[in-house]
Chains A and B, each alone.
Chain A
Amino acid sequence: MSKEQTTPESPAPLLEEEQEADLGRLSYRQLVWRKFRKSRLAVIGGVILVTFYTLAIFAEFFAPYDYQHDNVRLQYVPPQGVHFFGEDGFHIVPFLYGLKQTKNPESGELTYVADRSKTYPVHLFHHGDKYRFFGLISTDIHLIGSEGPFYLIGTDRMGRDIISRIIYGGRVSLTVGLVGVFLSIILGSILGTVSGYWGGLTDILMQRFIELLSSFPTIPLWMALAAALPSNWSGIQVYMGITVILSLLSWGGLARQVRGKVLATREQDYVLAARAAGASHWYILMRHLLPTAYSHIIVIATLSIPGMILGETALSFLGLGIRPPLTSWGVLLEEAQRVTVVLNSPWLLIPSLPVVLVVVAYNFVGDALRDAADPYAS
Chain B
Amino acid sequence: MKYLNMSMKKVIAFTMATLFTGLVSASEMGGLSSLRSDELKLSIESPAVALKKVRESDTLLKRDFIQQPPLIPHAIRGYDTNKNVNSCLRCHSWKNASKWGATRISVTHFTDRNEKQLADVAPRRYFCVQCHVPQADAKPLKENKFEPVDSLK
A and B together in one complex: no
Identify the B interface with A (CB < 8 A).
none
